[in-house]
């Protein structure tokens, strides 16, 4: 569609105008290229949200992507276009100023801001009221914008603008790429106005003329004003700025005299390597030299120094930190202490982290204790680089299938019930299944052949992946030299005190903005809590980085799958495989972390590995050349790096090419790309003389598994944490359990399970007691004193008040000095926390009910010590009262109270199962502490039963599940079926099951 | 309240009883309530209870225990109608009726004579209304309520003795009080009653003290009579889907007849009938048929509903119906002795009802503009004639004058409105000679309009209703013709036909 008229569109909005535009930036760019528009300015509402994607797409399509934004000034839209880098900088600052200091989503712009930040910007307006101010603030840098959408009233406005004698140019005020996008725009308009399509009336645009138009079409519209068109083209040529040069620089690290970044990094690494690499081998030195050379070549030394600086800050502040992800492949990262895994000893693949071919910034994730310590690091970065020098990256929330259907159906006027019904069966995976969708419509009582239904479904498809709003990324932080608000607009996040940039992590990567991911990890927080506890109470300083990795007690514990609370190794599936694997050294833990993942499970790698491990199957290799790569995993590929190395060794790929291969097999893999990859692989293998049978095997392994394989570097980082948590469990169990309980929610199990596990380990667990408990759990006499945080409904402030004023003389003293209400006293009394005052549970309840009620000043000192007329609780009642008030008990297990009854039913305790031969039919009952129905288990349900003696697994076949679905939700179950046994692992494959009646509230667990 | 006698009327599993009113169900049946995605069983019939089901189960849980279980949602409309019927039955037996909860009424029977015979007559009245009820009599509300399930008459002065052995769970406490008593281990009313009153008040406050008094058989609060029902409602849920108009009207006639009978007994008529239809499988169809004048005639209602539903049938099969009649006292209007000859409001109303029954409810009313870019669109609002104007001398003079009197009160012509076109209704179809590229009209003719186009502004493009079956797409032009006339014309872009729909004059 060639056009001879010169015209550039200077006013386009994308879907990143959030409800003000209907097309993705890429669609606008592609359409602009089709129409042979030389340049298009994206002016999204109040921001540059879509600019990076538009820039990238335009560059690929050969269109000049100009940068602008549309603001509301005096209630009228004003567009600002960046003429130069200075102008862009001002635009970013202007947008930032208008947004910061206000609630999220609210912006305000006035002429004062425009005066301050107007330099380098060109203004477009259709408001006559703007023109007088623009004349003085933007001399020679403004135009009145003429638009022709074939509307009577608009033409009158055009004529009014022309009569004012100001410079004019033509735009089309584009809101969507093609006329067919108008329904999407109308639907967004309805959402904006919170109305339905039938009621929107004249709030919808009169026609669908706001699409991208080529020069010829615009020339027809402006046949009487050709100058306006020429002016648009001329201005587009004058606007020099595109996102080619953002002016972004990563912060420079302050260097000691006589050093440049490379030399300083080198000196640091050389200084630390002998301490970190034990032994300091020539291989390690060679690897370091290789990496330093690449880092120098890519100019990344400053980046590593900044990260090292963060690590040093954490070290000074005693904040645990560990780098994870592909950074663990780097010897330099290890030497600097950024990561904790020795990549040389582990033979990890550096190219997975950094390669010359890709020329990308490396991706380093830092795991930090979740909560306050992570926030401390974030605040340190704000302090170091300034409030405007760093910010969190945004997370663009896009329309997923369910949400899209909800909004679209609402717009199309369907009732709330019907909307619910339509949305009910839509899952995120069911994005494009036409048949499934029609079925869904039928289930909602709609006729898919009916016009409105068809239009609703068509609109729903168009809504998918449109941006909906901006959130905050979980941990990505962008740092810059100087001010970040000169590079990208900043705005407040929903979380108080947080600032986010307007771009997401992919935008940052595309435009070369460097981010550091600061991720919170519950287990790190547990370590952080445990180490001082151990030091204070046990007089031992534990250095997690220097733990001996050959502790037989730890491997013994892992071998008997006694791993409740152990990082990454505590799930039912992990426990079941631990007893098959029997880890004996650290690398086994690395394998263990990686093997219970969708990749190895669906790829059929698990059973061959364990068979080889137990010597039941010979270790073989697809080709002898792969032996060095697969030897450690007994010929079975388990890690992503192994597959990359296989491609490198067998097909001659370079490290960078292998990494490219992994990306080609990413989530959006296409058949053509896969085919091309396989062709390259086969060509490479043929060149290396590998036979066709081996080629088939290798290709299949690589192409089917590369996506889902777990990175070895990642597994190694996790294995360190798993080992450390196992170490604490074995050697400092009281502190370990107390910390886990304090950091809950985390991990796999309910606190009750942790408490029962602690008791099985012989760790005394003391109940909540107002005289001795704090808000958090405490180390007490080699045991754990439960904290008041577990009392349901008991406010943190109240717990702190009790902790601050303890000990107390009686209930009235407690009520008065801790300022507790009747409700709070009742919670303490019901949970047995007043036992320390010498009261039975019912005495406490009786006193609490009175002591907590407001008394006038006359009676403020009054104490009622009359005896309680209430009957006392028996032991089982007390256990149930514990569950009701805190969900856990430090006393006798519930099943112990029921043991006599269960014996009558023929049930054995779990420990008694040990003495029953495998294969015997048994009955066993337990509290259900975990239920799982993994998608990989072909409909089988796995439950973990706990009684007063231990844990056992129950396997529920699909038929039994279907017939006893309701009974399975009971908190206590009795199973009957044949017993399977492995050392430390008991399971019953249920042939029958019954719920065991329990009064009161017993903790039960949903499907994980 | 010595000597006071209170009867308690309970309809057990009231939601279920209301749902089944007059239609016994012999299969196991559960009534569900709660969030749409996770309803729980709130009532069970005897058959279901015998199979071991209990309330509080989720439907899957209940069905896993009893696979053939019939489950129905609670029908609030049926419950409303049943409640009203229950109140009416009770009101016939006592001057003061207090509502104590769902399907629970207290009646003042002080000095009412033979209590056993009264009980029989009250349960009989309820049964005739389709509601199986239980009645208990005692000196106070609590004892009467606990006596009702067994049809017990607690002799005067024996309330405390009767209550002592009752389970505490039957006290009907607030959640807070129930939690407290359960935590205190008090499992009978007697155990609670045995606590010292002062200690109970010190712990549970006024509410606890009142409950404690009741537990001791002391009830001195007079009954508070419930107010009558203003807008009567009757409805039913169907066990089958009705898609046919005749069947729908047949199904509607039963609740409507009940409604008409109740209105007639109240000496009232209906001025608006709201019909709520539950659609298959989900959704509601609600429409209010305004009666141009009040009427309590079942025949008129059915005629109006027939027209309404035949003109705009429900979008899906119907699974339930409910009707509410907006009541009004019959109109009695006195015409002015000296006013202009005006239509009697009653006669006008009767006429309008008949007319709308003939034309259909959406074909009679006053026109109203709608929010649309299509100038020909309008909607109807109910016809509400203004009261006859006050008679003045000048009015009388005018009334003798010409038809120009209609212009009285109109604003002076506004210059700004000079270019507003006058609508041509219906639009005049034109034959148009166009310039081929831009389709600009050059000459047009049709009706009284004809001439060469001297000037034309446009096209002004209007596209609307893509979401409907027949979307509109028009190109408007403002044209000046050789004869001096100026018109608003448009080309329908779907059919290519031209119309004039406005004249600038």
CATH assignment of the domain containing B206: 3.30.70.270
- B245 with B277: CB under 8 angstroms? no
Out of A202, A209, A964, closest to residue B461 by CB: A209
Out of B37, B371, B462, closest to residue A207 by CB: B462
Q: Do B467 and A966 touch (CB under 8 A)?
A: no
pLDDT reported for residue B397: 43
From chain A, the residues in CB contact with B185 under 8 A are 842, 870-873, 877
Query: Is residue B402 in some structural domain?
Result: no
Q: What's A771's DSSP letter? A: T
Tell whether A863 lies on the interface with B, counting CB pairs under 8 A: no
* Nearest Cα residue to A639 out of A673, A599, A609: A599
Q: Are residues B148 and B239 in the same domain?
A: no
Query: Is residue B407 in some structural domain?
Result: no
Q: Do A445 and B283 touch (CB under 8 A)?
A: yes
pLDDT reported for residue A229: 95
Chain B contacts in chain A segment 182-241 (CB below 8 A) = 182-183, 186, 197-199, 201-202, 204, 206-209
Categorize the per-residue pLDDT at A499 as very low, low, confident or very high, splitting at 50, 70 and 90. confident
Structure tokens at B194: 């045995």
Query: Is residue B472 in some structural domain?
Result: yes
Half-sphere exposure of A539 (CA within 13 A, CB side): 0
Tell whether A298 lies on the interface with B, counting CB pairs under 8 A: no
Counting residues of chain B whose pLDDT is more than 70, the rounded percentage is: 85
Out of B71-80, B155-164, B448-457, pick the least confident: B71-80
For B67, the closest chain A residue by CA position comes to: A963
Q: Do B463 and A206 touch (CB under 8 A)?
A: yes
Determine the average pLDDT of the residues in A699-726: 84
pLDDT reported for residue A249: 86
pLDDT reported for residue A90: 96
Pick among B186, B188, B467 to test the A interface (most A CBs inside 10 A): B467
Out of A424, A445, A965, closest to residue B279 by CB: A445
What are residue B368's DSSP bridge partners? B379
Query: Is residue B410 in some structural domain?
Result: no
Q: Do A850 and B316 touch (CB under 8 A)?
A: no
Query: CA-to-CA distance for A67 and A813, rounded, in angstroms?
Result: 68
* Nearest Cα residue to A477 out of A521, A514, A506: A514
From chain A, the residues in CB contact with B373 under 8 A are 202, 206
Query: Is residue B386 in some structural domain?
Result: no
What are residue B479's DSSP bridge partners? B456, B487
Query: CA-to-CA distance for A890 and A883, rounded, in angstroms?
Result: 10
Q: Residue A36 — left, alpha, or beta (φ > 0 → left; ψ -120 to 50 → alpha)?
A: left
pLDDT reported for residue A93: 95
Instruction: Concatenate the DSSP letters of all residues of A380-446 into one string.
Output: HHHHHH-TTTEEEEEEEEE--HHHHHHHHHHHTT--HHHHHHHHHT--GGGTT-HHHHHHHHHHTT-
- A132 with A156: CB under 8 angstroms? no
Helix (H) or strand (E) holding A607: helix A606-613
Query: CA-to-CA distance for B183 and B180, rounded, in angstroms?
Result: 5
Check whether A599 has a pLDDT greater than 80.
no
Check whether A437 has a pLDDT greater than 50.
yes
Task: Please identify, among B164, B184, B215, the residue that sits at the C-terminal boundary of a domain.
Answer: B215
Radius of gyration of chain A (CA): 33
Q: Are residues B55 and B102 in the same domain?
A: yes
For A851, the closest chain B residue by CA position comes to: B203
Residues in chain A, how many? 1008
From chain B, the residues in CB contact with A875 under 8 A are none
pLDDT reported for residue A333: 93
Q: What's A558's DSSP letter? A: H
Structure tokens at B499: 């119309």
CATH assignment of the domain containing B263: 3.30.1490.100
Q: What is the pLDDT of residues B381-406, one digit of tens each?
A: 777 666 555 555 444 444 443 333 33
From chain A, the residues in CB contact with B62 under 8 A are 966
Q: Are residues B357 and B285 in the same domain?
A: yes
Q: Which range marks the domain in which residue B118 is found?
A: 6-215
Chain B contacts in chain A segment 665-694 (CB below 8 A) = none
pLDDT reported for residue B346: 56
Higher confidence at residue B217 or residue A864?
B217
Q: Are residues B191 and B267 in the same domain?
A: no
pLDDT reported for residue B36: 74
Task: Please identify, among B348, B371, B394, the residue that sits at the C-terminal boundary of a domain.
Answer: B371
Out of B58, B196, B316, closest to residue A445 by CB: B316
* A968: closest CA of chain B, how far (Å): 9
For B198, the closest chain A residue by CA position comes to: A850
Structure tokens at B394: 């000048």
Out of A150, A830, A849, closest to residue B459 by CB: A150
Q: Which residues contact A270 (CB under 8 A, 6 or more apart)?
A: A288
- A504 with A473: CB under 8 angstroms? yes
Q: Do B60 and A197 touch (CB under 8 A)?
A: no
Tell whether A444 lies on the interface with B, counting CB pairs under 8 A: yes
Pick among B52, B182, B183 to test the A interface (most A CBs inside 10 A): B183
Query: CA-to-CA distance for A667 and A663, rounded, in angstroms?
Result: 9
CB count in 10 Å sphere of residue B127: 13
Determine the average pLDDT of the residues in A640-654: 87
Tell whether A971 lies on the interface with B, counting CB pairs under 8 A: no
pLDDT reported for residue B153: 94
Query: Is residue B408 in some structural domain?
Result: no
Pick among B63, B188, B195, B282 to test the A interface (most A CBs inside 10 A): B282
Q: Are residues B286 and B147 in the same domain?
A: no
Q: What's A764's DSSP letter? A: -
Q: Do A183 and B467 touch (CB under 8 A)?
A: yes
Q: What is the pLDDT of residues A32-74, one digit of tens each?
A: 999 999 999 999 999 999 999 999 999 999 999 999 999 999 9
Q: Do B468 and A967 touch (CB under 8 A)?
A: no
Q: Tell me how many degrees the CA angle A519-A525-A530 measures, rounded to the nearest 5.
A: 155
Calculate the alpha carbon distances from A49 to A14, A44, A576, A650, A711 in Å: 9, 7, 48, 44, 33
* B271: closest CA of chain A, how far (Å): 28
Q: Do B185 and A150 touch (CB under 8 A)?
A: no
Query: CA-to-CA distance for A822 and B459, rounded, in angstroms?
Result: 76
From chain B, the residues in CB contact with A873 under 8 A are 185
Out of A198, A418, A853, closest to residue B202 by CB: A853
* A222: closest CA of chain B, how far (Å): 13
Q: Are residues B247 and B210 in the same domain?
A: no
* B459: closest CA of chain A, how far (Å): 6
If you count residue pairs, one on A and one on B, with CB atoms under 8 Å apart, how many are there? 119
Q: Which range, A6-15, A105-114, B232-241, is most confident?
A: A6-15
Q: Are residues B206 and B251 in the same domain?
A: no
Query: CA-to-CA distance for A644 and A349, rounded, in angstroms?
Result: 9
What are residue A469's DSSP bridge partners? A397
For A866, the closest chain B residue by CA position comes to: B199
pLDDT reported for residue A1000: 60
From chain B, the residues in CB contact with A204 under 8 A are 464
Q: Do B281 and A421 touch (CB under 8 A)?
A: yes
* A201: closest CA of chain B, how far (Å): 5
For B59, the closest chain A residue by CA position comes to: A966
Q: How much is the mean pLDDT over chain A?
A: 89
Query: CA-to-CA distance for A377 and A528, rounded, in angstroms?
Result: 14
Q: Are residues B62 and B207 in the same domain?
A: yes
Q: Are residues B185 and B263 in the same domain?
A: no
- A341 with A350: CB under 8 angstroms? no
pLDDT reported for residue A598: 75
Calculate the alpha carbon distances from A756 to A929, B224, B357 in Å: 11, 55, 76
Task: Please identify, among B182, B215, B248, the residue that sits at the C-terminal boundary of a domain.
Answer: B215
Check whether B410 has a pLDDT greater than 60.
no
Q: Do B461 and A151 touch (CB under 8 A)?
A: yes
Structure tokens at B332: 């009695």
From chain B, the residues in CB contact with A881 under 8 A are 183
Q: What is the pLDDT of residues A901-924, one digit of tens each?
A: 999 999 999 999 999 999 999 999
Query: CA-to-CA distance for B213 and A926, rounded, in angstroms?
Result: 44
For B473, the closest chain A residue by CA position comes to: A207
Out of A176-180, A206-210, A655-659, B155-159, pick the least confident: A655-659
Radius of gyration of chain B (CA): 34
Q: Do A869 and B284 touch (CB under 8 A)?
A: no
- B43 with B28: CB under 8 angstroms? no
Q: Are residues B38 and B169 in the same domain?
A: yes
pLDDT reported for residue B331: 55
Tell whether A965 lies on the interface with B, counting CB pairs under 8 A: yes
Q: What's A1007's DSSP letter? A: B
Query: Is residue B168 in some structural domain?
Result: yes
Out of A134-138, A490-494, A834-838, pick the least confident: A490-494
Chain B contacts in chain A segment 870-889 (CB below 8 A) = 870-873, 877, 881
Domain count, chain B: 3
Structure tokens at A39: 């340049």
Pick among B463, B469, B471, B472 to test the A interface (most A CBs inside 10 A): B463
Structure tokens at A656: 């960078």
Q: How much is the mean pLDDT over chain B?
A: 82
Tell whether A417 lies on the interface with B, counting CB pairs under 8 A: yes
For A413, the closest chain B residue by CA position comes to: B467
Categorize the per-residue pLDDT at B407 as very low, low, confident or very high, splitting at 50, 70 and 90. very low
* Nearest Cα residue to A278 out of A531, A545, A544, A541: A545
- B142 with B214: CB under 8 angstroms? yes
Query: CA-to-CA distance for B113 and B5, rounded, in angstroms?
Result: 10
* Nearest Cα residue to B192 out of B205, B178, B206: B178
Query: Is residue B393 in some structural domain?
Result: no
Tell whether A454 lies on the interface with B, counting CB pairs under 8 A: no
Q: Are residues B122 and B169 in the same domain?
A: yes
Q: Are residues B138 and B262 in the same domain?
A: no
The answer to whether the predicted template modeling score (pTM) of the entire model surpasses 0.90 is no
Structure tokens at B377: 């669109």
């Amino acid at each position: 569609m060639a056009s001879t008229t010169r015209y550039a569109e200077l006013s386009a909005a994308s879907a990143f105008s959030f409800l003000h535009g209907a097309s993705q930036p890429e669609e606008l760019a592609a359409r602009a290229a089709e129409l042979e528009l030389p340049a298009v300015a994206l002016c999204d509402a109040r921001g540059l949200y879509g600019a990076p994607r538009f820039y990238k797409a335009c560059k690929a399509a050969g269109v000049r992507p100009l940068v602008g934004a549309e603001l509301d000034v005096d209630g009228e839209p004003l567009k600002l276009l960046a003429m130069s880098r200075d102008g862009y900088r001002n635009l970013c600052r202007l947008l930032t100023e208008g947004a910061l200091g206000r609630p999220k989503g609210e912006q305000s712009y006035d002429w004062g801001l425009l005066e301050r930040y107007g330099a380098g910007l060109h203004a477009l307006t259709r408001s006559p009221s703007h023109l007088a101010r623009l004349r003085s603030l933007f001399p020679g840098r403004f135009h009145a914008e003429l638009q022709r959408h074939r509307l009577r009233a608009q033409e009158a406005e055009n004529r009014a603008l022309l009569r004012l004698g100001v410079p004019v140019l033509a735009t089309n005020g584009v809101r969507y790429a093609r006329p067919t996008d108008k329904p999407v725009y109308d639907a967004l308009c309805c959402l904006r106005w919170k109305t339905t399509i039938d009621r929107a009336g004249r709030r919808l645009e009169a026609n669908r003329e706001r699409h991208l138009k080529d020069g010829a079409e615009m020339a027809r519209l402006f046949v009487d004003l050709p100058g306006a068109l020429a002016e648009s083209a001329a201005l587009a040529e004058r606007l020099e700025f595109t996102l080619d040069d953002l002016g972004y620089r990563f912060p420079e690290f302050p260097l000691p005299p006589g050093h440049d970044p490379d030399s300083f990094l080198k000196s640091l690494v050389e200084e630390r390597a002998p301490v970190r690499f034990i032994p300091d081998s020539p291989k390690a030195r060679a690897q370091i030299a290789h990496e330093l050379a690449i880092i120098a070549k890519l100019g990344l030394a400053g980046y590593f120094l900044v990260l090292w600086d963060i690590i040093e800050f954490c070290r000074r502040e005693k904040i645990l930190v560990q780098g994870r992800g592909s950074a663990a492949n780097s010897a330099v990262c290890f030497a600097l202490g950024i990561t904790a895994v020795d990549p040389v000893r582990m033979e990890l693949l550096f190219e997975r982290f950094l390669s010359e071919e890709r020329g990308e910034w490396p991706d380093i994730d830092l795991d930090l204790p979740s909560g306050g310590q992570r926030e401390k690091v974030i605040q340190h970065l704000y302090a170091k680089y300034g409030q405007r020098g760093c910010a969190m990256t945004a997370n663009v929330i896009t329309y997923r299938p369910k949400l899209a259907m909800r909004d679209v159906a609402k717009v199309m006027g369907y009732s709330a019930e019907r909307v619910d019904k339509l949305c009910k069966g839509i899952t995120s995976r069911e994005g494009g299944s036409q048949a499934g969708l029609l079925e869904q419509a039928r289930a909602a009582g709609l006729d898919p052949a009916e016009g409105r239904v068809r239009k609703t479904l068509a609109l729903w498809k168009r809504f998918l992946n449109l941006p909906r709003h901006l959130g905050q990324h979980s941990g990505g932080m962008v740092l810059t030299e100087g001010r970040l608000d000169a590079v990208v607009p900043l705005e407040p996040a929903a979380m108080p005190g947080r600032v986010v940039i307007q771009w997401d992590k992919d935008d940052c990567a595309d435009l070369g903005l460097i981010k550091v991911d600061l991720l919170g990890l519950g287990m790190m927080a547990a370590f952080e809590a445990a180490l001082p506890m151990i030091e204070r109470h046990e007089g031992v300083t534990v250095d997690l980085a220097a733990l001996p990795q050959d502790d037989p007690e730890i491997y013994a514990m892992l071998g008997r799958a006694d791993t409740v609370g152990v990082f990454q190794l505590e799930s039912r599936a992990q426990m079941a495989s631990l007893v098959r694997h029997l880890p004996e050294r650290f690398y086994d833990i690395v394998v263990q972390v990686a093997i219970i993942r969708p990749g190895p499970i669906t790829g059929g790698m698990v059973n061959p590995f364990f068979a080889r491990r137990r010597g039941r199957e010979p270790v073989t290799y697809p080709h002898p050349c792969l032996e060095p790569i697969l030897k450690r995993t007994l010929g079975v590929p388990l890690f992503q790096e192994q597959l990359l190395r296989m491609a490198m060794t067998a097909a001659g790929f370079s490290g960078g090419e292998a990494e490219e291969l992994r990306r080609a097999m990413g989530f959006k893999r296409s058949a053509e790309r896969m085919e091309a990859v396989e062709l390259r692989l086969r060509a490479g293998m043929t060149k290396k003389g590998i036979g066709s049978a081996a080629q088939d095997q290798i290709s299949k392994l690589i192409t089917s598994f590369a996506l889902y394989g777990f990175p070895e570097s990642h597994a190694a980082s996790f294995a360190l944490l798993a080992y450390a948590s196992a170490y604490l469990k074995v050697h400092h169990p009281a502190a370990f359990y107390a910390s886990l309980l304090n950091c809950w929610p985390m991990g796999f199990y309910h606190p009750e399970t942790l408490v029962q596990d602690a008791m099985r380990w012989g760790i005394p667990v003391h109940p909540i007691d107002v005289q001795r408990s704090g808000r958090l759990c405490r180390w007490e006499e080699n045991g754990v004193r439960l904290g008041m945080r577990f009392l349901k409904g008991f406010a943190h402030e109240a717990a702190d008040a009790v902790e601050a004023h303890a000990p107390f003389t009686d209930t009235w003293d407690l009520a008065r000095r801790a300022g507790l209400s009747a409700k709070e006293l009742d919670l303490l009394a019901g949970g047995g926390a007043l036992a320390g005052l010498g009261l039975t549970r019912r005495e406490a309840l009786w006193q609490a009910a009175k002591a907590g009620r407001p008394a006038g000043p006359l009676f403020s000192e009054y104490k009622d010590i009359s005896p309680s007329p209430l009957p006392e609780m028996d032991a089982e009642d007390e256990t149930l009262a514990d569950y009701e008030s805190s969900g856990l008990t430090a006393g006798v297990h519930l099943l112990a109270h029921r043991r006599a009854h269960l014996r009558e039913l023929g049930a054995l305790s779990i420990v008694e199962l040990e003495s029953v031969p495998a294969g015997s039919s048994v009955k066993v009952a337990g509290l259900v502490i975990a239920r799982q129905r993994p998608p990989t288990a072909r409909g089988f349900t796995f439950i973990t039963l706990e009684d007063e003696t231990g844990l056992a697994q129950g396997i529920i076949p699909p038929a039994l599940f279907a017939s006893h679905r309701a009974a399975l939700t009971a908190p206590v179950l009795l199973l009957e079926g044949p017993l399977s046994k492995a050392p430390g692992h008991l399971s019953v494959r249920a042939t029958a099951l019954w719920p065991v009646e329990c009064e009161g509230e017993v903790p039960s667990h949903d499907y994980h | 309240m010595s000597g006071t006698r209170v009867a308690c009327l309970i309809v057990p599993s009231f939601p279920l009883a209301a749902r089944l009113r007059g239609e016994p169900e012999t299969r196991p049946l559960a009534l569900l309530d709660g969030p749409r995605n996770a309803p729980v069983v709130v009532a069970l019939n005897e058959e279901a209870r015998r199979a071991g089901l209990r309330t509080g189960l989720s439907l899957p849980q209940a069905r896993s225990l009893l696979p053939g279980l019939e489950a129905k949602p609670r029908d609030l409309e049926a419950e409303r109608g049943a409640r009203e019927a229950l109140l009416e039955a009770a009101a016939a037996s006592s001057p003061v009726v207090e509502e104590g909860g769902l399907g629970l009424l207290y009646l003042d029977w002080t000095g009412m004579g033979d209590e056993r015979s009264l009980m029989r007559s009250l349960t009989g009245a309820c049964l005739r209304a389709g509601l199986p009820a239980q009645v208990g009599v005692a000196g106070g509300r609590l004892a009467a309520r606990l006596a009702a399930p067994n049809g017990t008459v607690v002799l005067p002065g024996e309330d405390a003795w009767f209550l002592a052995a009752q389970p505490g769970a039957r006290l009907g406490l607030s959640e807070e009080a129930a939690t407290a008593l359960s935590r205190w281990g008090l499992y009978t009313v007697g155990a609670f009653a045995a606590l010292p009153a002062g200690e109970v008040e010190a712990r549970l406050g006024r509410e606890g003290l009142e409950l404690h008094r009741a537990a001791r058989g002391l009830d001195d609060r007079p009954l508070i009579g419930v107010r009558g029902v203003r807008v009567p409602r009757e409805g039913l849920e169907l066990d089958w889907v009705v898609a046919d108009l005749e069947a729908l009207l047949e199904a509607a006639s039963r609740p409507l007849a009940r409604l008409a009978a109740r209105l007639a007994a109240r000496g009232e008529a209906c001025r608006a009938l709201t019909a709520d239809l539950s659609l298959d499988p989900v959704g509601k169809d609600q429409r209010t048929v305004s009666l141009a004048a009040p009427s309590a005639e079942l025949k008129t209602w059915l005629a109006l509903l027939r027209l309404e539903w035949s003109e705009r049938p429900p979008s899906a099969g119907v699974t339930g119906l409910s009707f509410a009649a907006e009541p009004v006292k019959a109109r009695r209007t006195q015409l002015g002795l000296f006013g202009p000859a005006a239509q009697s409001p009653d006669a006008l109303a009767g006429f309008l009802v008949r007319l709308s029954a003939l034309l259909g409810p959406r074909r009679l009313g006053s026109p109203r503009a709608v929010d649309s870019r299509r100038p020909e669109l309008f909607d109807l609002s109910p016809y509400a004639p203004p009261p006859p104007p006050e008679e003045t001398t000048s009015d009388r003079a005018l009334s003798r004058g010409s038809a120009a009197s209609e212009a009285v009160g109109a604003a002076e012509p506004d210059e700004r409105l000079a270019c507003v076109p006058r609508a041509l209704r219906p639009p005049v179809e034109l034959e148009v000679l166009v310039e081929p590229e831009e389709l600009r009209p050059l000459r047009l003719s049709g009706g009284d309009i004809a001439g060469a186009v001297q000037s034309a502004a446009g096209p002004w493009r209007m596209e609307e209703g893509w979401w409907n079956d027949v979307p509109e797409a028009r190109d408007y032009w403002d044209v000046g013709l050789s004869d001096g006339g100026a018109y608003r014309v448009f080309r329908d872009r779907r059919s290519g036909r031209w119309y004039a729909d406005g004249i600038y004059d």
